[in-house]
Amino acid sequence: MAIARTLKHLVAGAVIGLAALGVAHAEEWKFAVEEGPGDVQTLYAEQFKKLVEQRSQGKVKVTIYTYGQLGNENDLTELTASGAIQFSNASPGHLGTFVPEVQILSLPFLLPEADAAKGEILSNSKALYGSLAKDFTAKGLKLFTIYPEGEMIWTTKKAVRKPADLGDVKFRVMTSPILIEQFKLYGANPVALPWGEVYGGLQMNVIQAQVNPAFFIESAKFHEVTDHLIYVGDVEYTTTVVSNADFYESLPAERKKMLDEVRSELQQYIFKTEREKNAAAVDKMLKDNPKLKVVKLTDAEREVFRKRAEPLGQKLVAMVGGRAGEILKQLKAEIQTANTQVSAK
Ligand code: 6CS
């Protein structure tokens, strides 16, 4: 994707957008997501658009771009950092090539499993919104929010219950380097690709497996070119919403206040929405493809993968350097507190 061509297209789009609105001084905020129509990120962006346009009394118009309209996942981050667009989703699974510290969020067996503790960490963690956010700012991005999109499920051509089953499996992962390390530790042959190449890769048997939440497997139709859904219970898909840092900083105080309010309201909305979408997607996939087999690892089987993943945190710290070790330590302490508070209730 030629970024120059995209920039030209975006400027032209802004002018046409204003003319169509017939509003002399309306601001246009462009929000690009990494997913397609009806997917979790798109539903979030649509709700964001609704609230921002209502609360700014039409003075701000939000234009949403879905996956592919402006490029792939890494292109969206570049466009946001350069200020060509104002908001985008930047999932840690891809953003690690740009903000390496964010890969902490991709570590398996780390985030709390209980909804309340997970919500507390993803919405309010000082390690994330205080410490990690500084690494975003250094790259021209404001960390606006983080939310979950569902448990990661493997789609495979054969049943997998242990690392030895993955020996001959080319396993598609997102483009952050830590994911390659994770799947090597799990015993597979990982391959990093943007998601637009995954359906064809599975169909042509260039790759034999990939990992995503249920709603996404269903909407990208990966269940048509797979035989098994494997529930490992190792990690939740999380995404960040980022804004251009200079744009955000230059906003008047009342706009920032509006965005803070919108952000907290949308956390509740999106937690509920992703759960509903994921549950419905599993039913739909099993109906569409009755040959699909579901494998849920037992606690003992899961433990084998947990043990394999143990060195990953230290590998990440060594790979990224800088403040990554400090942030991970701070986050682990917060997770422990959040887990204890939830189990005390
Ligand atoms: O697998 C991926 O690359 C994509 N998965 C999700 C759930 N959202 C966007 C991301 O790029």
pLDDT tens readout for residues 277-287: 999 999 999 99
Other beta carbons within 10 Å of 109: 18
pLDDT at 98 exceeding the cut of 60: yes
pLDDT in tens, 253-294: 999 999 999 999 999 999 999 999 999 999 999 999 999 999
pLDDT at 73 exceeding the cut of 70: yes
What average pLDDT does this structure show over 7-17? 47
The whole-number pLDDT of residue 34 equals: 97
The whole-number pLDDT of residue 1 equals: 45
pLDDT in tens, 18-65: 445 444 568 999 999 999 999 999 999 999 999 999 999 999 999 999
Cα of 343 from ligand 1 centre, angstroms: 32
| Nearest CA residue ID for atom 4, ligand 1 | 195
Which residue matches tokens 């039913």? 283
Cα of 296 from ligand 1 centre, angstroms: 22
pLDDT at 66 exceeding the cut of 70: yes
Name the least confident of 17-31, 89-103, 156-170: 17-31
The whole-number pLDDT of residue 345 equals: 77
Q: Looking at this protein, which amino acid is placed at residue 280?
A: A
The whole-number pLDDT of residue 284 equals: 97
227-251 in b/e burial notation, b at 16+ Cβ within 10 A?
Answer: ebbbbbbbbbbbbbbbbbbebbeeb
pLDDT at 84 exceeding the cut of 90: yes
Ligand 1 pocket at CB < 6 A: 34-35, 73, 91, 94, 149, 174, 195, 212-213, 216, 237
Tell me if residue 136 falls in helix, strand or coil: helix
The whole-number pLDDT of residue 18 equals: 47
- From the CA of 35, give the closest atom in ligand 1: 9
The whole-number pLDDT of residue 4 equals: 45
Q: Which tops the pLDDT comparison, 67 or 4?
A: 67
Name the band, by pLDDT with cuts 50, 70 and 90, for residue 2: very low
CA-angle at 264, arms to 133 and 218, nearest 5°: 85
- From the CA of 211, give the closest atom in ligand 1: 1
pLDDT at 11 exceeding the cut of 70: no
Q: Which tops the pLDDT comparison, 197 or 343?
A: 197
What average pLDDT does this structure show over 152-169? 98
Name every residue whose Cβ is closer than 8 Å to that of residue 153 and which is 6 or more positions away in sequence. Answer: 211, 212, 213, 214, 217, 229, 230, 231
Nearest CA-CA partner of 266 in 40, 94, 18: 40
Nearest CA-CA partner of 147 in 242, 13, 237, 275: 237
The whole-number pLDDT of residue 342 equals: 83
Name the least confident of 8-17, 119-128, 321-330: 8-17
Task: Please tell me the distance from the alpha carbon of residue 11 to that of residue 27, in angstroms, as a whole number.
Answer: 13
- From the CA of 194, give the closest atom in ligand 1: 3
Q: Which of 33, 34, 171 to mutate to test the pocket of ligand 1 (most atoms within 8 A of CB)?
A: 34
Fold (CATH) for 2-344:
D-Maltodextrin-Binding Protein; domain 2 (3.40.190)
Across all residues in the chain, what is the average pLDDT? 94
Cα of 189 from ligand 1 centre, angstroms: 19
The whole-number pLDDT of residue 13 equals: 43
> How is the chain split into domains, by residue range?
2-344
The whole-number pLDDT of residue 343 equals: 83
